[in-house]
Amino acid sequence: MRKAARSGGSVGVVVLGMALTGCSTPSPQQQRETVSDYKDGVYTATGWYGSLPSHQDVTLTISDDIVTDVQITTPAADPTSLEHQQRFAAAIPSAVVGRDIDTLDIDRLAGASGCSEGFMNALAKITDATRTADSTP
């Protein structure tokens, strides 16, 4: 904002403590910084998968729509299933931490497509809960 000042017949320009910026549209990152689609917090959901009812509990920490932490239980009793769950649990942090929750689409990870299905099932429950949460989780 500029204001003209007159002093003894000359004209000067005074800039009033305001940074001048160009007219531009905010980048998607700048827009994301101000608007979150999901409520921050720690959320846990059970993801079911497979023809035999297998499951895993998924705990996600969300901050500004970004996954900042993930924990997966490995409750399988069958040794082969347990091995798949453990490999999946070890691989999932590098696939989701630091990413926008809306971009997560885990299809097959560490050779465990069933675990991926369970993760996506739990993720759907978590995203529904974070959109509708009225109180702190």
Q: What is the pLDDT of residue 27?
A: 56
Angle between helices 79-96 and 113-132 (to 10 degrees): 50
Among 36, 80, 40, 60, which Cα is nearest to 120's?
60
Per-residue pLDDT of the chain (137 residues; tens, 9 = 90+): 444 444 444 444 333 333 444 444 555 555 545 467 899 999 999 999 987 779 999 999 999 999 999 999 999 988 998 999 999 999 999 999 999 999 999 998 998 889 999 999 999 999 998 886 544 44
8: which DSSP letter?
T
Give me 21's structure tokens: 């910026």
Q: What is the pLDDT of residue 132?
A: 60
Q: What is the pLDDT of residue 13?
A: 37
Q: What does 52-105 look like in DSSP terms, one character per residue? A: TTEEEEEEEEEETTEEEEEEE-----SHHHHHHHHHHHHHHHHHHTTSBGGG--
The full set of domain ranges for the chain reads 2-32, 37-132
Q: What is the pLDDT of residue 28?
A: 55
> Thinking of the domain 37-132, which architecture would CATH place it in?
Alpha-Beta Complex (3.90)
Q: What is the pLDDT of residue 56?
A: 94
Q: What are phi and psi of 26, to 5 degrees?
A: -60, 145
